[in-house]
Amino acid sequence: MSLTGKLLIGQQTIPGDREIIQGINPATDALLEPAYAGGSAEHVEQACALAWAAFDRYRETALEARAEFIETIAHEIEALGDELIDRAMAETGLPRPRLLGERGRTCQQLRLFARTVRAGEWLDVRVDSAQPQRQPLPRSDLRQRQIALGPVAVFGASNFPLAFSVAGGDTASALAAGCPVIVKAHGAHPGTSELVGRAVARAVKACGLPEGVFSLLYGSGREVGIALVSDPRIKAVGFTGSRSGGLALIKAAQARPEPIPVYAEMSSINPVLLFPAALRNRSQALAEGFVSSLTLGAGQFCTNPGLVIALKGPALDTFIGAAAELIQRSPAQTMLTPGIFNAYESSVNALAENPRARLAAVGQRGTAPNQGQAHIFVADAADFLADHALQAEAFGAASLVVQCAGHEEVREVLEHLEGQLTATLHLDDEDLDQARSLLPTLERKAGRLLVNGWPTGVEVCDAMVHGGPFPATSDPRTTSVGTAAIQRFLRPVCYQDFPDALLPTALKQANPLALRRLLDGQREA
């Protein structure tokens, strides 16, 4: 399949007429063909009109039909074969095994949402039967279900060109909820985006759905991005990226005559706590696990362990020494884009120049463009508490070890942190009481807590929370990974005293979807 370099508005490929977006191979700085001319407000208008026209029909598709559509997307992505992997490698500098794994994850994610759609629990059907004889007033028949919010704008991430991009978690969960999706492609991987976007469009066609269920736009955040978020037909936004990018979208969404929710996953430094016994008993193994998690994918994970917290002392010194040795041997890695590489360089330079932090180790020099070196810094807790800049995210393989004078200072450091996606505890049996005493703080600070693991793996499943208090995300009530993500795109509607013939299928008295309803206060078996 040859790339067209065009926008995809429903089933139409349409040339853009604004500034060019072009993929760059970060390993060589070479430009990748084709060029993608950006879209304009007029293209946003066309995509929104189609999405709006599709909405009422798409949101009422039968569960089985919707699930099959989502599975068809997975199938179409797999059918792209090596072309997709090769293009994604060229555009991102990520190695083949990682992208093969990410494709697998993306397709499994789609299939998991198909399963979720079929199970129908997301409809959250509640029935309170009429009580015509009730005194002093009769009770009406009341039935509730969830319906889709409306068309959703999705802004893909740079760091997961498949799993968090065109057909990633936001798109999958919005489609599962019954929302048409308009994706603004990330400029870092336009070709990968086109391949996946056309796969989605083929699935729309194959399943006989209205074409407006999916569109893919290219363009600038200022023009296309803000126009999308401001369009009255868009009812929610999914975003993964920088704090400044997320905040700009939130501002636009709040400025609308009808404000809408923005689910922005932004920044997190993912504190890792090393408890005393664990640190004493296995500092070498902890250092190995830490450096391996820190350097995975050049550190370009939302859940990268950017902060280590432990008690100052010989055990921590041993850990830092072991980690420093591993870091010094770690090769530089190609980062996703020249922009990300430059931002990473600025972040580590700022830390290096900060008198409150000390550079403990730096990885090997790069031998090609855009190769980031791993870094470890060390600071005392008092300095960390005194300087907010030390908890800024350095997107890449950099981490700061904070040395605390005692357990209460550990708590103080944790309370001082902004909201996080994850918090990790490394502990042995003797550490349990100390860990338990910090749990209330950790639960308030993060969406996911891990024991004796590393945060960089994010399983796509029912129980995952990839979310957390601001600024980790804009909405801690939600997750952007896992099946609970579907709830972001739903709202409840109540039907009072409806004749059965007028009720939606999910609410009909005979319960044709065999849902376990909340019926008169009891959950059906």
Least spacing, CB of residue 459 vs a second copy, in Å: 6
Q: Please say whether the beta carbons of 505 and 64 come within 8 A.
A: no
Pick left, alpha or beta for residue 27 (phi over 0 → left; psi -120 to 50 → alpha; otherwise beta): alpha
Least spacing, CB of residue 314 vs a second copy, in Å: 27
Least spacing, CB of residue 479 vs a second copy, in Å: 6
Residue 73 or 423 with smaller CB distance to a second copy:
423
Residue 329 or 516 with smaller CB distance to a second copy:
516
Least spacing, CB of residue 4 vs a second copy, in Å: 34
Nearest alpha-carbon partner for 290 in 325, 333, 340, 331: 325
Least spacing, CB of residue 264 vs a second copy, in Å: 11
Cβ partners under 8 Å of residue 236, min gap 6: 149, 150, 152, 153, 174, 179, 260, 261, 262, 263, 488, 489
| Cα gap 245→221, rounded to integer Å | 8
| Cα gap 357→379, rounded to integer Å | 5
List the end-to-end C-alpha distance of the chain, in Å, as a whole number: 50
| Cα gap 414→449, rounded to integer Å | 13
CA 100 from chain center: how many Å?
Answer: 19
Residue 144 or 337 with smaller CB distance to a second copy:
144
| Cα gap 465→482, rounded to integer Å | 7
Backbone angles phi, psi at 154, to 5 degrees: -115, 130
> Exposure string (b/e) for 280-300, b if CB count within 10 Å is 16 or more?
bebbeebbebbbebbbbbbbb
Burial class for 169, CB neighbours closer than 10 Å (0-12, 13-18, 19+):
buried
Nearest alpha-carbon partner for 83 in 196, 218, 183: 196
Least spacing, CB of residue 317 vs a second copy, in Å: 27
Backbone angles phi, psi at 37, to 5 degrees: -75, 130
The tokens 């494709």 sit on which residue? 103
Residue 370 or 422 with smaller CB distance to a second copy:
422
Q: How many other CB atoms sit within 10 Å of the CB of residue 459?
A: 12
Residue 180 or 190 with smaller CB distance to a second copy:
180
Active site residues: 265, 302
CA 163 from chain center: how many Å?
Answer: 9
Least spacing, CB of residue 372 vs a second copy, in Å: 24
Residue 38 or 469 with smaller CB distance to a second copy:
469
Residue 44 or 465 with smaller CB distance to a second copy:
465
The tokens 């308030």 sit on which residue? 444
Least spacing, CB of residue 497 vs a second copy, in Å: 5
Residue 96 or 516 with smaller CB distance to a second copy:
516
